[in-house]
């Protein structure tokens, strides 16, 4: 392949296809005397002209189009060839041309192909004089009958085609322009001529709606033919060159010029700023294989050393079988930890050799001087890109798999059951379990000490025993004594609880103040003059201290009074065993008091348990609300889909979605079949043969009602005996519940629900949603789309989508489908080759002759795709 100066493919440059030299009678010299004197010097003029061209930012191409003259073309082109732009600036292309007036009074710009070899010129153009060539052409268009006049417009168009030249209708709205033809019939005939293709319109655009309707094919009298519109400076001085704002996306070559005929909407922009930067998008900017790399461990296939700059728009990789077109994409995907195809040899998986010599440059934004970071295959990296591996779309067949993929597309793949609610449920069930265990606790004697009946019996027994030791003689003193004992026990219980409260306050104070210190540190990073005060419980601890002192005094007082009662018994000459009497009274009173405290605690715990059980029943509402929340989040994600994009992007998304009747809404999906499979593990199948039907669950509503009203019977009630496992786990354990109850996107496509779609339609739907909803700036890497999609969809749908979407995101595909390369107007074509298991890659644009030949040679239907694209000017396929 001959040297390709434009391996990155078609890029935006400023073109000025109507420039005059000082051969024009109206040429104006520079106001700068120094420059003007050099302009007037014939020897200095070409150099001055070229130097000025390179002072113009983004200028890529000009055409020299003097009136009926080519006096300066050869010298200026030679000066350009001798000029060294420096600083990485590429050579400006100068196309030879001439401006003529047709027999109809129309000015035409005739632009010649510098690479053509014409029969009228004996030597190659590069060696022949352009002055001679253009004079030959001017002679060929003279009217034989009237040597002072040129042929008609149609005749000159046809003659220019023979010379491999393109004609542009100059300043169409001004004097000598197309719209100044007085004859309507002549105007219509010229317009409809197949070689009438390009109009030079004013820099400010066309304000005449009648003219505009004709150019855009909206005037029935002129047919539905639309014309490529460009602007040009018609410069007659150096300062006027490229004062137009015409941007063309193509190689700066004659073949690049043809692209504006094939793809005028894609290839031409009339605007002040470079269209390259119209939309911000991160892109891969280069693949650099620093040295040959063994692709697989232990295999002989190698990537050869190469450097591939990448276009920001549509990049296509083509090649025959085994040439490494898909391999390159999958190696990139592996570099960014994306799922890839399994490569096998003799049924053994082959692993990539992940080399640091495979380097990928990533441009963070679409800016003039973007920040660039590099990744290599060994160290890997993570990027927000979409990778669709070969065969992916055919594997999108399971409802739940596709639903989860759609969540990713809608950027709600993290949508899940609320962790806080799950924690709340676990804590609630744990509380219930602990409360139940508390009631069931037995001491070493086997007594259920937290049972109500047990404690009521204990209290009654102590009261009866206290009565047995009470007589008329000791009743008064004994009642006082036991009352004091009761007070002492109560006070000691208070002291114990006060100590517990103080310990809890101290611990809480330490914990919360540590938390406050941490958040204050974060706050100080943002706000310097404010923080959260730390807490203390000084007032509480002071009160506790005072109460402790008073309680201690009461205990001391009660004990002293009981000592006095003991002495009173002795003074009265009590004849029984006084120590035993008082000891038993104290013991029985203590037992009564302990039973009363326990009964009070039991009452409180029973109340707590009943509240918790009611809360468990009410979990039905909380679960329903949570699943409704997830459903609503899907609804909102879909309904708000367009909010994050520009108006132009919204039009593209709407075009993708509405045309195909795609809609998504959240659905709480209760999988009854999966639920019944789970029930088999929990229910006694001898009793419940029809499972969910027998317990009254046939729908989501039944499910909520069962939790609210019936589940308790299977946990605490008579139905518990008919279960094999704790049934509450099936309803409240998230790991169990997620298998039969979940929220999914309910999707419609072509007015069909997902379960009504074929495997192919599901794959197509998945692709469309990826294209429409994923972040526009994320690059899309797609390995051989045609393997998963039918050709009709590719031709009628995908080609157009790629042409729209490549403005907003970089698209890189490997393919053997000519439509995805030619019809989609790929900016860059990378050709993969395999030479003795060494993989090489060359790249260029569709206007590059070597790339054209590769497309026609490799891709089935490649020549036909070019022919359909041609309109009239033929691409030379050699």
DSSP 12-37: EEEEEEEE--TTSTT----SSHHHHH
What is residue 875's predicted lDDT score, i.e. its pLDDT?
41
Using 50, 70 and 90 to split pLDDT, how confident is the model at 125? Answer: very low
> Do 455 and 598 touch, CB atoms closer than 8 A?
yes
What CA–CA distance (Å, rounded) separates 634 from 411? 10
Average pLDDT over residues 766-775: 76
Q: What is the pLDDT of residues 399-438, one digit of tens each?
A: 767 777 778 778 888 889 999 999 999 999 999 999 999 9
Using 50, 70 and 90 to split pLDDT, how confident is the model at 341? Answer: low
What is residue 312's predicted lDDT score, i.e. its pLDDT?
96
What CA–CA distance (Å, rounded) separates 827 from 249? 8
pLDDT at 760 over 50: yes
What CA–CA distance (Å, rounded) separates 620 from 622? 6
Residue 783: closest CA among 359, 197, 391: 391
Helix axes 73-82, 130-140, angle to 10 degrees: 150
What is residue 694's predicted lDDT score, i.e. its pLDDT?
93
pLDDT at 123 over 80: no
What is residue 119's predicted lDDT score, i.e. its pLDDT?
46
pLDDT at 118 over 60: no
Residue 555: closest CA among 499, 486, 507: 486
3-state DSSP helix/strand/coil % of the chain, to nearest 5:
50, 15, 35
Using 50, 70 and 90 to split pLDDT, how confident is the model at 1? Answer: very low
> Do 765 and 399 touch, CB atoms closer than 8 A?
no
Using 50, 70 and 90 to split pLDDT, how confident is the model at 348? Answer: low
What CA–CA distance (Å, rounded) separates 249 from 825? 11
What is residue 792's predicted lDDT score, i.e. its pLDDT?
86
Average pLDDT over residues 846-862: 91
Listing DSSP states for 455-506 in one string gives HHHHHHHHHHHHHHT--TTTHHHHHHHHHHHHHHHHHHHHHHHHHHHHHHHH
Average pLDDT over residues 454-477: 85
What CA–CA distance (Å, rounded) separates 117 from 847? 18
User: How far out from the chain centre does Cα 51 lie?
Assistant: 46
pLDDT at 355 over 80: yes
Helices (H), 200-253: 209-215
Using 50, 70 and 90 to split pLDDT, how confident is the model at 343? Answer: low
What CA–CA distance (Å, rounded) separates 294 from 352? 9
Q: What is the pLDDT of residues 269-292, one digit of tens each?
A: 999 999 999 988 999 999 999 999
Residue 626: closest CA among 417, 429, 420: 417
Average pLDDT over residues 833-858: 94
Percent of the chain at pLDDT exceeding 70: 95
- CA dihedral 477→479→483→486, nearest 10 degrees, is 120
Helices (H) and strands (E) counted in the chain, each on its own, are 29, 26
What CA–CA distance (Å, rounded) separates 129 from 132? 5
pLDDT at 876 over 70: no
pLDDT at 710 over 80: yes
CA 626 → CA 418, 617, 640, 669, 747, distances in Å? 7, 15, 21, 13, 21
Token pair 């003795």 in the structure block, residue: 836
pLDDT at 121 over 50: no
Average pLDDT over residues 509-535: 92
Q: What is the mean pLDDT of the chain?
A: 89
Listing DSSP states for 188-211 in one string gives HHHHHSTT--EEE--TT----HHH
Listing DSSP states for 68-87 in one string gives T--TTHHHHHHHHHH----T
The structure's pTM equals 0.78
pLDDT at 841 over 60: yes
Asked which of 218-222, 355-359, 545-549 is least confident by mean pLDDT, the reply is 218-222
Using 50, 70 and 90 to split pLDDT, how confident is the model at 741? Answer: very high
Q: What is the pLDDT of residues 473-489, one digit of tens each?
A: 788 888 888 888 889 98
What is residue 549's predicted lDDT score, i.e. its pLDDT?
95
Average pLDDT over residues 658-686: 90
Q: What is the pLDDT of residues 675-693, one digit of tens each?
A: 999 999 999 998 998 999 9
pLDDT at 864 over 80: yes
Q: Which residue has the higher pLDDT, 73 or 465?
A: 73
What CA–CA distance (Å, rounded) separates 114 from 373? 40
Q: What is the pLDDT of residues 19-69, one digit of tens each?
A: 999 999 999 999 999 899 999 999 999 999 999 999 999 999 999 999 999
What is residue 519's predicted lDDT score, i.e. its pLDDT?
94
Two structure tokens written together for 201: 């319109």
What is residue 872's predicted lDDT score, i.e. its pLDDT?
43
What is residue 646's predicted lDDT score, i.e. its pLDDT?
74
What is residue 574's predicted lDDT score, i.e. its pLDDT?
64
What CA–CA distance (Å, rounded) separates 675 from 741? 8
Asked which of 33-47, 223-237, 382-396, 735-749 is least confident by mean pLDDT, the reply is 382-396
What is residue 861's predicted lDDT score, i.e. its pLDDT?
82
pLDDT at 122 over 50: no
Q: Which residue has the higher pLDDT, 390 or 630?
A: 630
What is residue 624's predicted lDDT score, i.e. its pLDDT?
97
Helices (H), 263-395: 264-267, 325-335
pLDDT at 345 over 60: no
> Do 829 and 845 touch, CB atoms closer than 8 A?
yes
Q: Name the DSSP class of 151.
A: P
- CA dihedral 536→537→542→547, nearest 10 degrees, is -170
């Amino acid at each position: 392949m001959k040297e390709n100066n434009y391996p990155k493919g078609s890029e935006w440059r400023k073109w000025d296809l109507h420039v005059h030299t000082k051969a024009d009678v109206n040429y104006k010299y520079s106001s700068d005397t120094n420059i003007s004197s050099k302009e007037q010097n014939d020897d200095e003029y070409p150099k001055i002209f070229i130097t000025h061209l390179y002072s113009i930012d983004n200028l890529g191409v000009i055409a020299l189009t003097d009136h009926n003259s080519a006096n300066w073309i050869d010298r200026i082109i030679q000066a350009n060839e001798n000029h060294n732009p420096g600083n990485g600036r590429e050579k400006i292309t100068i196309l030879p041309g001439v401006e003529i007036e047709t027999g109809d009074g129309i000015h035409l710009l005739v632009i010649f192909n510098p690479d053509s070899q014409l029969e009228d010129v004996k030597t190659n153009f590069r060696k022949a004089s352009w002055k001679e060539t253009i004079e030959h052409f001017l002679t060929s268009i003279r009217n034989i009958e009237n040597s002072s006049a040129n042929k008609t417009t149609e005749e000159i168009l046809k003659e220019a085609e023979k010379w491999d030249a393109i004609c542009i209708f100059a300043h169409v709205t001004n004097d000598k322009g197309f719209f100044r033809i007085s004859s309507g019939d002549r105007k219509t005939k010229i317009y409809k001529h197949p070689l009438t293709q390009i109009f030079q319109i004013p820099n400010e655009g066309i304000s005449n709606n009648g003219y505009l309707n004709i150019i855009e094919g909206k005037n029935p009298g002129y047919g539905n033919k639309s014309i490529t519109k460009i602007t040009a400076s018609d410069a007659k001085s150096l300062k006027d060159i490229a004062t137009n704002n015409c941007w063309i996306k193509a190689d700066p070559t004659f073949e690049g010029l043809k692209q504006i005929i094939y793809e005028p909407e894609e290839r031409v922009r009339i605007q002040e700023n470079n269209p390259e930067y119209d939309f911000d998008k991160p892109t891969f900017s280069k693949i650099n294989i620093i040295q040959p790399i063994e692709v697989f461990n232990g295999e002989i296939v190698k990537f050869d050393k190469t450097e591939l700059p990448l276009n920001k728009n549509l990049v296509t990789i083509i090649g025959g079988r085994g040439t490494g077109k898909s391999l390159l994409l999958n190696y990139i995907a592996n570099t960014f930890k994306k799922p890839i195809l399994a490569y096998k040899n003799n049924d053994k998986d082959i692993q990539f050799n992940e080399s640091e010599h495979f380097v990928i440059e990533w441009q963070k934004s679409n800016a003039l001087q973007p920040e660039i970071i590099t990744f290599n295959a060994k160290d890997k990296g993570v990027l927000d890109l979409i990778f669709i591996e070969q065969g992916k779309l055919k594997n999108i067949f399971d409802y739940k798999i596709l639903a989860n993929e759609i969540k990713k597309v809608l950027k709600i793949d993290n949508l899940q059951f609320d962790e806080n609610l799950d924690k709340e449920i676990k804590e609630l069930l744990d509380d219930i379990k602990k409360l139940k265990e508390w009631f069931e606790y037995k001491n070493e004697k086997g007594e259920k000490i937290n049972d109500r009946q047990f404690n009521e019996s204990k209290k009654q027994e102590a009261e009866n025993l206290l009565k047995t030791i009470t007589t008329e003689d000791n009743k008064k003193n004994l009642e006082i004594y036991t009352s004091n004992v009761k007070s002492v026990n109560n006070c000691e219980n208070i002291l114990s609880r006060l100590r517990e409260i103080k310990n809890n306050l101290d611990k809480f104070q330490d914990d919360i103040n540590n938390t406050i210190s941490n958040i204050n540190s974060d706050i100080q990073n943002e706000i310097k003059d404010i923080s959260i005060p730390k807490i203390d419980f000084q007032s509480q601890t002071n009160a506790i201290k005072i109460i402790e002192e008073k309680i201690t005094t009461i205990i001391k007082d009660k004990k002293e009074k009981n000592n006095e009662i003991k002495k009173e018994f002795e003074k009265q000459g009590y004849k029984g065993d006084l120590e035993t009497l008082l000891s038993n009274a104290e013991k029985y009173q203590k037992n009564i008091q302990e039973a009363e405290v326990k009964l009070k605690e039991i009452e409180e715990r029973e109340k707590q348990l009943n509240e918790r059980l009611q809360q468990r029943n009410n979990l039905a509402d909380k679960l329903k609300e949570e699943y409704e929340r997830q459903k609503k989040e899907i609804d909102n994600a879909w309904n708000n889909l367009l909010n994050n994009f520009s108006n132009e992007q919204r039009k593209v998304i709407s075009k993708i979605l509405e045309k195909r009747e795609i809609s998504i809404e959240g659905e709480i999906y209760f999988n009854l079949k999966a639920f019944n499979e789970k029930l088999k593990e929990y229910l006694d199948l001898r009793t419940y043969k029809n499972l969910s039907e027998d317990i009254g669950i046939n729908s989501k509503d039944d499910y909520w009602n069962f939790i609210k009203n019936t589940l308790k019977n299977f946990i605490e009630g008579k139905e518990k005996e008919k279960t094999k496992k704790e049934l509450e786990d099936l309803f409240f354990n998230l790991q169990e519940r997620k298998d039969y109850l979940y929220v999914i996107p309910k999707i419609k496509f072509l007015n069909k629900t997902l379960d009504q779609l074929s495997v192919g339609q599901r794959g197509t739907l998945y692709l469309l949603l990826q294209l429409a909803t994923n972040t526009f700036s994320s690059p899309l890497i797609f390995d051989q789309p045609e393997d998963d999609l039918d050709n009709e969809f590719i031709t009628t749908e995908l080609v157009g989508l790629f042409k729209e979407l490549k403005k907003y995101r970089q698209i890189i595909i490997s393919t053997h489908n000519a439509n995805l390369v030619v019809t989609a107007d790929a900016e860059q074509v990378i050709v993969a080759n395999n030479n003795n298991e060494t993989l090489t890659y060359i790249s260029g644009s569709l206007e590059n002759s070597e790339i054209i030949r590769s497309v026609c040679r490799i891709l089935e239907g490649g020549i036909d795709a070019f022919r359909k694209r041609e309109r009239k000017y033929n691409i030379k396929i050699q």
